[in-house]
Amino acid sequence: KFDVSAPWLNRVVERKPKQYVMAVDDVSFDVPKGGCLSLVGESGCGKSTVARLVTGLYPPSNGSLEFTPDINGAPLSAQMIFQDPYASLNPRWKVRDIIAEPLRELKLRETEEEILARVAELLTTVGLSPNDGGKFPHEFSGGQRQRISIARALATEPRFLVCDEPTSALDVSVQAQILNLMRRLQDEMGLTYLFISHDLSVVRHMSDRIAVMYLGRIVEEAETETLFANPRHPYTQLLMQTIPNIEHPKRAREVTTGEVPSPLNPPKGCAFHPRCPLADARCSAERPAVLTLKDGNRVACHRVEEAEGDSARELTGPN
Ligand code: SF4
Ligand code: MG
């Protein structure tokens, strides 16, 4: 269970001058052990920030980060896989040294021989050849480089992997190969995934549950097939329309109904109201609470509350 929070006034975390990251407000979710929860939303919704907070790459600015690892009380051992494998692999290192680095750093193997044997095993696990260890990152395709990143992430035998748009830089056919690899690894190693994507179609077959984020908040969270069969939040419905189809197989269509507002100056009430086809006066004045529905799914929308509120188990929030 994760509770990630940073107050409105501290929504941005300063990293370098003029470079900010989106912060998040009261985002709470459960990642089922051995399963996959995906966070989905447009760029700037805070999903990457949540990923980095969860793995400790960013400190929460003035908020809190609490998680309850449910793995026999053991500390959470999380690893992160990034969107751009080329940027995250040192170009001057041979692949075997890239993968061996965490083994050496954490002294997970004693002898050089054991380290190299483990590297060869990891390369095989991700569908590469042990001989590939002698090459440099630039000698590989984008998909192969992502396999190398995955091998490095697995070197420490983590139980939990946070994957931030791991296939977004890849061609569609290569994306499918990497997603298949990740699913196989999950089955074989009992891995738990937090998967971040802007594309619902990418996470559909990975996820047990999907949380849709908008401007630093979760607006809907549901079991995957329920979300696809019955998207309740108007923003989820909008995202569904951007899924690639036969006419547009290459990439998701742009969301055409308006821009994402600045996270520094979020709209009052429901933050989605300037773009929402169902918005009324209440929406621009009052922030919808997160409603937990009878099926265990959550949604934050006045219209859904009016339609389904009677059957809701509880009203939580504000979230
Ligand atoms: Fe749209 Fe209102 Fe629901 Fe927000 S609360 S998603 S503006 S209908
Ligand atoms: Mg991102």
Please check whether residue 126 lies inside any domain of the structure. Answer: no
Please check whether residue 281 lies inside any domain of the structure. Answer: no
Q: How far is it, in rounded angstroms, from Cα 51 to Cα 39?
A: 9
Lowest mean pLDDT among 122-126, 252-256, 306-310: 252-256
Please check whether residue 214 lies inside any domain of the structure. Answer: yes
What does the pLDDT average to over 165-180?
91
Q: For residue 62, give its domain range.
A: 2-77+159-261
Tokens encoding 131? 């001989």
Tell which one of 219, 278, 298, 319 to mutate to probe ligand 1, the residue whose CB is within 8 A of the most ligand atoms: 278
Ligand number nearest to the C-alpha of 51:
2
Residue 214 Cβ < 6 Å to ligand 1: no
Residue 202 Cβ < 6 Å to ligand 1: no
Residue 302 Cβ < 6 Å to ligand 1: yes
- Interval 100-152: pLDDT, tens: 999 999 888 999 999 999 999 999 999 999 999 999 999 999 999 999 999 99
Atom of ligand 1 nearest to the CA of 219: 6
Please check whether residue 242 lies inside any domain of the structure. Answer: yes
Please check whether residue 72 lies inside any domain of the structure. Answer: yes
Please check whether residue 46 lies inside any domain of the structure. Answer: yes
**Helical axes 95-105 vs 112-125, angle rounded to 10°:** 120
pLDDT at 120: 98
pTM above threshold 0.90? no
Lowest mean pLDDT among 53-57, 70-74, 98-102: 70-74
CB within 8 A of 144, min separation 6: which ones?
A: 128, 132
pLDDT over 70 at 37, yes or no: yes
Spatial strand order of the sheet with 2-5 comes to 27-29, 2-5, 64-67
Residue 303 Cβ < 6 Å to ligand 1: yes
Nearest partner of 81 among 206, 256, 237, 244, judged by Cα: 206
Nearest partner of 252 among 204, 175, 199, judged by Cα: 199
Please check whether residue 66 lies inside any domain of the structure. Answer: yes
More confident residue, 101 or 6: 101
Report the b/e string of 95-109 with b at 16+ CB within 10 A.
bbebbbebbeeeeeb
Atom of ligand 1 nearest to the CA of 302: 5
Residue 219 Cβ < 6 Å to ligand 1: no
Strand partners, 124: none
CA 270 to chain centroid:
23
Closest Cα to atom 7 of ligand 1: 273
Is residue 11 within 8 Å of 20, Cβ to Cβ? no
Q: How far is it, in rounded angstroms, from Cα 290 to Cα 158?
A: 32
Q: How far is it, in rounded angstroms, from Cα 286 to Cα 270?
A: 6
Residue 273 Cβ < 6 Å to ligand 1: yes
Please check whether residue 84 lies inside any domain of the structure. Answer: no
What ipTM describes this predicted complex?
Answer: 0.95
Distance 112 CA to ligand 1 centre (A): 59
- Say how many domains are in the chain: 1
- What CATH number should be reported for the domain holding residue 165? 3.40.50.300
